[in-house]
Structure 1
């Protein structure tokens, strides 16, 4: 008898592995971060709209004004997070930025405590201390892809991206009744409008190769990746989702080493392990960086459970 979890297992694993290659695609495009984020919004958002139309979800959707305002706010936070994360790659390295970025589940705990009154356990406080100690170790010991000490600005941008993504996740918790594909499409539309003026200062690549990298990012690493993610996460145990989420930073570090010659020193590796162990272990249900937050029912303070399937 065929295992009913085999297909969603492959889908989620593929989504996590694709997430780990986003940094390489961004750098290979040669475009500035705002232009990359704009292209991702336009290409990925358009394909998601077409997907929703084909499934009949868009025609039957009747959003309230509150839904649209919150979705727009989430879009601003999400796209801002993309810009900061993409900019951080060039100032540190793909692996360093990705691992530092994974402090976002712990930041989300702080937001939930501040705005929803959720209790922060001693365990979460300890994990937060370990994670940010790991960030300090990485900052002091890591080298960038150019072999020079990693720039603190790159670390700061990755942390800023984590804060914005945690904010987008916090907003998504208020929109649990909206199908995630629709929410992602709306947020991409908001991002495209916001980032369009930035093209006057950070234009799209002039070369065909650069444009093709951005098309790849919008199609495979946005639309296809989100469809795989949303088709699988609700069908897998949360422990499986959380465990496979480790594929994202691991693949990112491997790609960084293989494609860009990054070499991980033992203090840097120790700092990376501290961040990942502290930030991902309590995350019940995973997210990959650079993605729209998963819309869930009954999300716990540091993770996700089964996604809502709107009627």
Structure 2
């Protein structure tokens, strides 16, 4: 493997591993979900805006009213998805919420079929049935840290987050011509503005430790993670991206087990495997060659990632 292949591989792997630790950072901050989402938008968005200015992308961008409106709408979906997902951690567990959340690729295909008229293959229907069967199995068998069954509200919030995530990805499909860094900067800025009033109800932590966790979330798990993903995904084969995407839920489950005492039951583990196998397996068709690059994929943050640009 050449250096040109190794670097994007390591960048994408690092981004997926970072994603898997988001749940732990959210819980350790001790803040309510809206406050956490605001901090992620404010810190991460500010850094992304600076990055776009430094690269000359933001000063040169002249969006149409339609593009700006869609970007704002996608931002609302994106931050809403974060609020629901972060809230779900406390009601279920990091691993359960993360795995249930990964039903979103299947939901996105459903949205594309409903609103864009795209055909849904029989294989997708089978995968969807397997995934949501896995969600049902998790709902009936998963237990939290205290050994009690997880609250169905937590699973419901994770599913709601998946729907909003799919909505953000669906909107981003209409903005394929917009550089994803710019789209992310706009969406996080919108999120910070929308969530700021909620700080009157769910304020930021007053202790330095909680604030440091939120700064970590904005810098490492948002700005740096976005840059790593966008620098690598367009240079990797589709199959490699799909395979390494498993790092996100796998790391989340391992963190939950190692640091929060979560012990999956056998039915729960079987449900998790069903969801991940169905939702993360690459779709057949389209790019058939093993070295085909990802050109119009959606990334784990809900925005579209293009092929490499010079």
- Higher mean displacement: 13-22 or 53-62: 53-62
Query: Does 2:102 match 1:102?
Result: yes
1:3 CA displacement: 3.7
**1:24 aligned counterpart, secondary structure:** helix
Mapped to 2, the partners of 1:219 and 1:144 lie a distance apart of 29
Q: What secondary structure sits across from 2:267 in the alignment?
A: helix
Following superposition, the deviation at residue 146 of structure 1 comes to 2.8
What is the CA distance between 1:294 and its match in structure 2? 2.5
- Match status 1:221 vs 2:210: no
CA distance in 1, matches of 2:98, 2:9: 23
Is 1:293–2:303 an aligned residue pair? yes
Unaligned runs of 5+ in 1: 297-306
Greater than 4 Å deviation, 4+ residue runs: 283-289
Q: How many angstroms apart in 2 are the aligned matches of 1:246 and 1:287?
A: 15
Question: Retained in 1: the 8 A contact 2:28–2:210?
Answer: yes
State the secondary structure of the residue aligned to 2:304: coil
CA–CA distance in structure 2, aligned partners of residues 256 and 242 of structure 1: 23
Change (3 A) 1:256 1:283: farther
Q: How does 1:259-298 map to 2 (within 5 A)?
A: 259-282=259-282, 289=300, 291-296=301-306
Residue aligned with 1:58, SS = helix
Q: Distance in 1 between matches of 2:185 and 2:178?
A: 11
Which residue does the alignment assign to 1:134? 134
Report the counterpart of residue 86 of structure 2 in structure 1. 86
Q: Per the alignment, in what secondary structure is the counterpart of residue 295 of structure 1?
A: strand
Q: CA deviation at 1:121?
A: 1.0
Counterpart in 2 of 1:300?
none
Alignment TM-score, normalising by the size of structure 2: 0.94
Aligned residue for 1:205, secondary structure, equals coil
Q: What is the alpha-carbon distance in structure 2 between the residues aligned to residue 263 and residue 224 of structure 1?
A: 31
C-alpha change, 1:287 and 1:267, in structure 2 (3 Å) is farther
| 1:30 equivalenced with 2:34 (yes/no) | no
Q: Is 2:69 the counterpart of 1:69?
A: yes
The structural deviation recorded for 1:283 is 5.4
Once the two structures are TM-superposed, the CA of residue 293 in structure 1 deviates from its matched residue by 1.9
Q: CA deviation at 1:287?
A: 5.7
Secondary structure at the counterpart of residue 248 of structure 1: helix
In 2, Cα distance between equivalents of 1:42 and 1:114:
34
Contact 2:230 2:305 in 1 (8 A): no
The total of aligned residue pairs comes to 299
3-state DSSP of counterpart to 2:49: helix
**Displacement after TM superposition at 1:308 (Å):** 6.5
Deviation, 1:4, is: 1.8
Find the aligned partners of 1:63 and 1:153 in 2 and give their Cα distance.
Answer: 39
Distance 1:49 1:109 in 2: 31
**Cα shift at 1:86:** 0.3
Contact 2:108–2:166 (Cα < 8 Å) also in 1: yes
Partners of 1:147 and 1:56 in 2: CA distance:
53
- RMSD of aligned alpha carbons: 1.4
Q: Deviations over 1:57-84 (max 9, x none)?
A: 1111111111100000000000000000
Moved more, 30-39 or 138-147: 138-147
CA deviation profile, 1:245-292 (whole Å, cap 9, x unmatched): 000000000000011010011100000000000000035867664x24
- In the other structure, the counterpart of 2:255 is 255
CA distance in structure 2 between the partners assigned to 1:294 and 1:254 by the alignment: 28
